[in-house]
Structure 1
Amino acid sequence: MKSNLLKYKGIHPGIILDRELKKRSIKERPFALSIGEHPQTLNKITAGKRNITVGLALKIERTLKLAEGTISLLQTYHNIEKEKKKKIQSPDMSIIRNIIFWDTDVKQIDWQKQSRAVIERIFEKGNDDEKEEITRFYGSAKVNNIISTTERKPMRIQSKSK
């Protein structure tokens, strides 16, 4: 597996572990129990939904007779790849004022899943530079589509009646 390490660079190590277990005809549940881990935990790891700790990586490597550090290294490569994608997938925050997102932690925004809310907020409260940056980031087609389908609710005026 060590010679194939570069081939797997960036792939979640749990997915690689799943392939290795299948290749060796080892069932996931008995394997998890044999290394003293909950089967549910190993299942989330092999599904790519949970990271592998160094301690768990060492147990897996010992049991499967893999070179020490192989799985931890794969986890690190995967984390690096995730971080690179995260940097690419956010607008230039030097242009956008944090005050626009006063009610949320800007670092926690999922720019893809929350694109509608971000676009609506920038086009409601942002200046021209911020609107231009969001248009550059999402593309004019997506921005125009969201802006054209946004419903503007009229402000209710309460009358003072006695």
Structure 2
Amino acid sequence: MLPELAKIKGIHPGVILKREIKLRGLKNKELADSLEEHAQTIGAILKEKRSINPNLSIKLGHELGVANDYFMILQASYDVKKAIQINSSTKTPDLAKIRKVLFWDTDFNKINWDTDRKPILKRIFERGNEIEINEIISFYGREAIMKELKNTNNDFLPSFQENLNKYLLS
């Protein structure tokens, strides 16, 4: 059963479609044939490389037992989320001064330097070098960093406190 739209707004329709295909035990080709669409079209949607169009949304709605506009609404909310990300005027530090390897567990280009401030500060102060720490201090400002770190728990590496003392508290 497909989830309610309110719970999945902003997610690419291909992600939801892939999940539904798996739950129903279908193959991409089987779905494509039942919709009278090319298997490549369905494959591209499942890989998030192609959008859902109104005609396909109607076909999918009929085939999967949901409203005809279900996938179209999902596509529109995904497009809006993507446009907001592109058009947002989020400032970033000088990324040339920050090693990507510091954020080995995430896509460096998708880091939101505003909303992800706390984990960024933790990572930089635990593992960053002098150039990276100074760049983050100049980007966020000493006061903002101190305010952010004031309300954090102390599950940091020892290097965190050492760097905090060296660069902010001295």
| TM-score, reference length from structure 1 | 0.55
For the 8 Å contact 1:54–1:72, the answer to whether it is kept is yes
C-alpha deviation, 1:2, in angstroms: 6.7
Q: Which runs of 5+ in 1 are unaligned?
A: 92-136, 146-162
- C-alpha contact 2:32 2:39 (8 A) present in aligned 1: yes
Query: Could you list the per-position Cα deviations for residues 28-63 of structure 1 after superposition, in whole angstroms to 9, with x for gaps in the alignment?
Result: 111101211110110010111110000011011111
Partner of residue 86, structure 1 = 86
Matches within 5 A, 1:106-125: none
The answer (yes or no) to whether the contact 1:35–1:63 under 8 Å persists in 2 is yes
CA shift in 2, pair 1:2/1:28, >3 Å: closer
Give the partner amino acid of 1:138: T
Matching of residue 138 in structure 1 with residue 97 in structure 2: no
Which residue is equivalent to 1:67?
Answer: 67
Larger Rg: 1
Percent of paired sites with the same residue = 35
2:54 maps to 54
Q: Give CA-to-partner distance per residue, 1:65-117, whole Å, 9 cap, x none.
A: 112211111001101100010012x57xxxxxxxxxxxxxxxxxxxxxxxxxx
Q: Distance in 2 between matches of 1:61 and 1:73?
A: 11
Equivalent position SS for 2:4: helix
The alignment covers a number of residue pairs equal to 100
**Structure 2 residue 39 is matched with structure 1 residue 6:** no
Runs in 1 of length 4+ with deviation above 4 angstroms?
A: none
Contact 1:2 1:67 in 2 (8 A): no
Distance 2:57 2:87 in 1: 27
Q: Does 1:15 align with 2:9?
A: no
Aligned counterparts of 1:68 and 1:11: Cα–Cα separation in 2: 18
Matched to 2:48, the amino acid is G
TM-score (norm 2): 0.53
Letter in 2 for 1:25: G
Map residues 5-44 of structure 1 onto 2, 5 A cutoff: 5-44=5-44
C-alpha RMSD of the superposition: 2.3
- CA distance change for structure 1 residues 21 and 144 in 2, over 3 Å: closer, same or farther? closer
- Unmatched 5+ stretches in structure 2: 99-170
Give the aligned partner of residue 103 of structure 1.
none
2 CA distance for matches of 1:144 and 1:25?
48
- Secondary structure of residue in 2 paired with 1:138: coil
